[in-house]
């Protein structure tokens, strides 16, 4: 069969096909994934208030002791599996591991007043304040940065050095971002996280809370 050439204002078969394809493409673009919408002023206020509330509760005067089980795996060195015990008096955190943690050894002391001193029980270049915040599940930094919609919740920038918090849709802190590529994900708990999964360019740590309780001032660290 011969295809007759259309003249005048009529469209050729090829032109119709191209037009149909273009229409389909435009329709697909119109209905495809779109960038996440910006948070509303109410959501921004709620995210900042939730973070500040968690920060206040974590760093208010309190004394507790906790026991985590899990493993710390540096990129260079042996994997340490066992227990991590911590004692916190509101300003100073003492930790003890059942197995040596590479260069950190079995015991360390971290203080909010001495950010560049003390052995850190995680792989990576963390200072004392960031390491304490990683264990408590919230950094002692005001949520003054931008608030963005993120997958499953919100991201709150804390400073210009890479510190940020990730909140879920219920405004619970479920992750922290730290300088030099370190980050942590959490299963939130009532007082401290139930689970901590931390990673950095130098290795990983996976900890599960085994016990938590008050630490009386009269009780010495064993």
Q: Which residues have CB under 8 Å from 167's CB, separation 6+?
A: 47, 50, 51, 153, 154, 155, 156, 173, 174
**C-alpha pair distances (Å), 169 with each of 120, 149, 151, 186, 196:** 31, 10, 9, 14, 19
21 band by pLDDT with thresholds 50, 70 and 90: very low
Domains delineated in the chain: 41-214 (2.50.20)
**What is the pLDDT at residue 75?**
83
**What is the pLDDT at residue 36?**
56
pLDDT digits (tens, 9 = 90+) for 169-183: 999 999 999 998 999
Q: Can you tell me the mean pLDDT for 197-215?
A: 95
Strand (E) or helix (H) holding 56 = helix 41-59
């Amino acid at each position: 069969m011969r295809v007759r050439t259309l003249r005048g204002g009529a469209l050729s078969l090829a032109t119709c096909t191209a037009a149909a394809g273009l229409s389909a493409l435009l329709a697909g673009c119109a209905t495809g994934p779109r960038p996440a919408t910006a948070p509303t002023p109410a959501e921004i206020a709620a995210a900042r208030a939730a973070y500040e509330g968690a920060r206040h509760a974590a760093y208010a005067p309190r004394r507790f002791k906790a026991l985590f089980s899990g493993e710390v795996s540096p990129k260079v060195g042996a994997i340490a599996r066992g227990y991590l015990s911590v004692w916190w008096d509101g300003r100073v955190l003492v930790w003890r591991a059942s197995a040596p943690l590479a260069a950190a050894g079995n015991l360390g002391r971290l203080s909010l007043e001495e950010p560049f001193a003390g052995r850190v029980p995680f792989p990576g270049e963390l200072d004392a304040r960031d390491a304490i915040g990683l264990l408590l599940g919230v950094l002692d930094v005001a949520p003054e940065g931008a608030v963005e919609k993120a997958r499953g919740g919100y991201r709150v920038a804390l400073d210009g050095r890479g510190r940020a918090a990730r909140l879920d849709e219920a405004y619970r802190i479920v992750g922290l971002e730290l300088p030099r590529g370190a980050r942590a994900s959490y299963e939130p708990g009532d007082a401290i996280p139930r689970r901590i999964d931390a990673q950095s360019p130098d290795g990983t740590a996976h900890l599960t809370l085994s016990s938590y309780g008050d630490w009386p001032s009269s009780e010495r660290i064993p």
